[in-house]
Amino acid sequence: MWHRASSILFTVPPIENLSEFDITEQRSRFYAAAVPATTLGEVKKELTKRKKKYHKARHHCWACRVRDENGRLIEQARDDGEVGKPGMKLLELLRGRDLEGLLVVSRIFGGIKLGPGGVGRAFRDAALGALRMGHQ
């Protein structure tokens, strides 16, 4: 579990529109969404919705960059018990594009283990697809 709060007060572009993308890797389905969340409360609401929508998913990995009540940038990432540190991979995508918002990927296990590297790549590729869909 990672949590990092910084005192960055300059503006960072937000994810402007909900965009979704899914991929299949060795029979596992990865459902990704880039979500325009601005607070931790919005992040939690969206995660609750995704968990209901993909109730068969074993893992809901996510990362966010949002502002606290003082305007400071807060970064969080969660692996939800998955191997390969997918939460950090999602956070790196947000950081690398200098975006605020939520990236979440839900995995429905297909019966074939992918290993840490394969899992990390699949989560990253699904999230990249969602980010690209939002910028078309």
What CATH number did the domain enclosing 41 receive? 3.30.230.30
Alpha helices by DSSP H, the chain: 40-53, 86-96, 115-133
42-89: pLDDT as tens digits: 999 999 999 999 999 999 999 999 999 998 999 999 999 999 899 999
Amino acid found at 94: L
Paired with 3 in beta bridges are 76
Please state which of the ranges 3-12, 13-22, 58-67, 90-99 shows the lowest mean pLDDT. 3-12
| 136 pLDDT more than 60 | no
Amino acid found at 122: A
Q: What is the pTM of this model?
A: 0.87
Q: Structural domain of residue 87, as residue ranges? A: 2-133
d(CA 54, CA 114): 20
d(CA 4, CA 121): 23
90-107: pLDDT as tens digits: 999 999 999 999 999 999
8 Å CB contact between 13 and 98: yes
Q: What is the pLDDT of residue 24?
A: 95
How many folded domains does the chain comprise? Answer: 1
